[in-house]
Amino acid sequence: MAGQISGPVFGQMTAGGGAQRGDFFLCDVFDAIPKNDLASMEHPLFSLGTRPDRRILNYEHNGAEITVVPSVKGLATIHDKDILIFCISQLMAAVNAGRQVSRTLHLTAHDLLVATNRETSGDAYRRLREAFERLAGTRITTNIVTGGQEVTSGFGLIESWEIVRKARGGRMVNVVVTLSEWIYRAVLSKSVLTLSRDYFRLRKPLERRIYELARKHCGRQDSWQISVEVLLKKSGSASPRRVFRKMLRDMIAAQPLPDYAMEELPGDLIRFSQKHAVLDNSQRPPVLSARTLEQARSLIPGVDVYALEADWRTMWVRSGAPRLRRPDAAFLGWVKKRATE
């Protein structure tokens, strides 16, 4: 439900850096690293359609059972998920910095649009409102574990949302969002993965979904392969297998995914490989020690060191993948420079 509420928008800042007004979290982390929850990366919870999708989705795989029921507005889409990614990213940045968090968040609509690579036109604000409505209206029943708990229950992806301030022309300015307990448990247990910032540049729904699966399963391995049949099931695509295979072949030709290259293998298999491994097979990427990552964390407190490592490796590849005699020292020198920027 959306509506106008009166009174102050933000409360007093606590000593821990959080904001408190009936227990809420103020989204004020500049340039938070994009994070996504593991469960929704692994399983298809979002529609890949670009038109209102009013199907009831049923999915079962390796003991995980999901039923997704749309509202009259249709199912929440993979692009609507940007809102959840923004909220999760803000909360994880605060958790890593030792701040107090809450599943009720105050956020600025403009910040959300900019962070997720969207336009800030009047039409963009209208689409954002529709996304909130689909997220709150879509109901999920599942036994998927988040935060170490397996509870078969039904819930909305967000519990509620409301506009707390509008601009003179009626455009939303500040919004309050309450996440589901299911999503919030994932944050508190740090059951999340870092996404490439280029994820938000992927405009095609299937590209986003395939990237999520590659990021979840390939991760930091050199490669991961999966059958087209299982990939179709896990993607949540409604396309027939022959059409889905053609879309995968188009992706293989275009190679749009950040960090991962795709190739087709005999036996109706698709392999995902780290792009740095594809670009330079003559030299493996630099391996950093656990002690080096801890030192990096002390240089920039609260940072996601694995995201930092990924950024450094990307820079290493773009600079021609030079041979490093002391990769740990090179990495720490780069981190120190970044800390002063």
Q: Percent of the chain having pLDDT more than 90?
A: 57
**Average pLDDT along the chain:** 85
Per-residue confidence at 296, pLDDT binned at 50, 70, 90?
confident
Q: Which residue has the higher pLDDT, 96 or 305?
A: 96
Flag whether pLDDT at 81 surpasses 80.
yes
Residues, the chain: 341
Query: What is the C-alpha to C-alpha distance for residues 269 and 70, in angstroms, rounded to an integer?
Result: 32
Residue 61 lies in a domain: yes
Structure tokens at 174: 């500040």
Query: What is the C-alpha to C-alpha distance for residues 134 and 158, in angstroms, rounded to an integer?
Result: 9
Question: Going by C-beta distance under 8 Å and a sequence separation of 6 or more, which residues neighbour residue 263?
Answer: 252, 270, 271, 273
Flag whether pLDDT at 198 surpasses 60.
yes
What confidence score (pLDDT) does residue 8 get?
29
Last residue of a domain, one of 201, 234, 263: 201
| Residues 126 and 195 reside in one and the same domain | yes
| Residues 51 and 180 reside in one and the same domain | yes
Maximum alpha-carbon separation in the chain: 63
| Residues 136 and 231 reside in one and the same domain | no
Please state the domain count of the chain.
3
Mean pLDDT of 68-78: 95
Last residue of a domain, one of 256, 278, 300: 278
Residue 121 lies in a domain: yes
Can you list the positions of beta strands (E) in the chain? 12-13, 19-20, 25-26, 35-37, 57-61, 64-69, 104-108, 139-142, 153-156, 158-166, 172-179, 192-194, 223-227, 260-265, 269-274
Per-residue confidence at 291, pLDDT binned at 50, 70, 90?
confident
| Residues 274 and 296 reside in one and the same domain | no
Tens-digit pLDDT profile for residues 300-330: 876 667 777 777 877 777 677 788 888 899 9
Residue 168 lies in a domain: yes
| Residues 105 and 181 reside in one and the same domain | yes
Query: What is the C-alpha to C-alpha distance for residues 155 and 149, in angstroms, rounded to an integer?
Result: 15
Residue 7 lies in a domain: no
Flag whether pLDDT at 175 surpasses 60.
yes
CB-CB neighbours of 227 under 10 Å:
13
| Residues 228 and 300 reside in one and the same domain | no
- DSSP code for 147: T
Residue 12 lies in a domain: no
Mean pLDDT of 171-195: 92
Q: Which residue has the higher pLDDT, 137 or 142?
A: 137
Alpha helices in 138-204 (DSSP H): 181-188
| Residues 62 and 152 reside in one and the same domain | yes
Residue 213 lies in a domain: no
What confidence score (pLDDT) does residue 2 get?
39
Per-residue confidence at 188, pLDDT binned at 50, 70, 90?
very high
Mean pLDDT of 130-149: 86
What confidence score (pLDDT) does residue 311 get?
75
Per-residue confidence at 10, pLDDT binned at 50, 70, 90?
very low
Tens-digit pLDDT profile for residues 209-265: 999 999 999 877 788 999 999 999 999 999 999 999 999 999 999 999 999 999 999
Alpha helices in 97-188 (DSSP H): 109-115, 122-137, 181-188
| Residues 104 and 162 reside in one and the same domain | yes
What confidence score (pLDDT) does residue 40 get?
92
Tens-digit pLDDT profile for residues 13-34: 333 333 334 488 999 988 899 9
Instruction: Please report, as a single letter, which amino acid is at residue 264.
Output: E
| Residues 46 and 163 reside in one and the same domain | yes
| Residues 103 and 233 reside in one and the same domain | no
Residue 312 lies in a domain: yes
Find out whether 19 and 26 touch, Cβ atoms under 8 Å: yes
| Residues 296 and 262 reside in one and the same domain | no
Last residue of a domain, one of 278, 305, 322: 278
Domain residue limits at 232 = 224-278
Residue 214 lies in a domain: no
| Residues 49 and 182 reside in one and the same domain | yes
What confidence score (pLDDT) does residue 245 get?
96
